Amino acid sequence: MANIVSNIPLPDMSLELLPAYLRDVYTWAYLTPGTAWFFDRQIVVQAILWGNAQRLMGDVLAALQPGDRVFQPAAVYGDFSRQVAQRVGPQGRLEVRDVAPLQVCLTRRKLADLPQANVAWADASIPQDGEFDAVTCFFLLHEVPDQVKVQVIHAMLGLVGPTGKVIFVDYHRPHRWHPLKPVMKRIFERLEPFAASLWAHEIQTLAGAAADGFQWRKNTRFRGLYQIVTAERK
């Protein structure tokens, strides 16, 4: 398999050609080199997730096996992609996609020494080609509008084979008296305007009729603030 540093072309796109929600809400987080450099460190991701990042990553890794073919629909700051690539090993494959060319470049650089990983440009809301043992959708859904959430879920469910699974990790409505609940509400209002809907809607429900072909399982972490939802092909 060709190494990811091979010259896979990136689209020559201006900000106007990126999804509106990305450029209007997340330019500061994903399209600005200076802030991307700051956020793309495991210690920062661990802080943003209130010390739960590695635990949540571990939940994903536990669902994967050496040799698995894995699809990751969006770049993830920190060590997540490296850990997934190392988990599947040289006999496996990790395909990472992102709609932001800057994130594609950063992720290629992070994974340059792991030949089982490939990184390219794509929009997660558009169905992709291929069949995978697992899809790891790690903190993507809270960053897109509700209609795009539905499109992403449908696209990811369509990528798994007869025994495949999709693993969604994201925010979840915390327990009633969670001490961080008012803090997270304020963060969502100011920085993450599409996240609050995950407090009101189940990921399985957003899948609509496509959910019927899967067995669904949900676990929560940190007194309900985070969810790990696994949809396994029946």
Q: What is the pLDDT of residues 152-211, one digit of tens each?
A: 999 999 999 999 999 999 999 999 999 999 999 999 999 999 999 999 999 999 999 999
- 4 within domain boundaries: no
Residue 7 lies in a domain: no
* Whole-angstrom distance, CA of residue 231 vs CA of residue 118: 24
Per residue in 84-120, pLDDT tens?
999 999 999 999 999 999 999 999 999 999 999 999 9
Distance in angstroms (rounded) separating the CA atoms of residues 90 and 64: 14
Domain at 219, CATH number: 3.40.50.150
Tell me whether residue 180 is in a domain: yes
Mean pLDDT of 5-20: 64
Nearest to 84 by CA among 102, 109, 106, 110: 110
Residue 5 has pLDDT above 50, yes or no: no
Domain extent at residue 100: 15-122+130-233
Give the pLDDT confidence of 49-59 residue by residue, as tens digits.
999 999 999 99
Q: What is the pLDDT of residue 6?
A: 36
Predicted local distance difference test score (pLDDT) of residue 2: 36
pLDDT confidence of residue 212: 97
Q: Based on the structure, what is the number of domains in the chain?
A: 1
Residue entry with tokens 């997660």: 124
Mean pLDDT of 17-32: 94
Q: Percent of the chain scored above 70 by pLDDT?
A: 94
Q: Is residue 6 part of a domain?
A: no
pLDDT of residue 11: 58
Flag whether 3 is in a domain. no
Beta strands across the sheet bearing 160-171:
117-121, 93-98, 69-72, 132-138, 160-171, 226-233, 214-221
What's the average model confidence in pLDDT over 214-226? 98
What pLDDT score does 8 carry?
45
- Residue 72 falls inside a structural domain: yes
Q: What is the pTM of this model?
A: 0.94
Distance CA 77, CA 30 (A): 10
Task: Establish if 1 belongs to a structural domain.
Answer: no
Q: Tokens representing 116?
A: 């089982």
Q: What's the chain's average pLDDT?
A: 94
- The percent of residues in the chain predicted with pLDDT above 90, rounded, is 93
pLDDT band at 9 (very low <50, low <70, confident <90, very high): low
Assess whether pLDDT exceeds 50 at residue 221: yes
Q: Does some domain include residue 8?
A: no
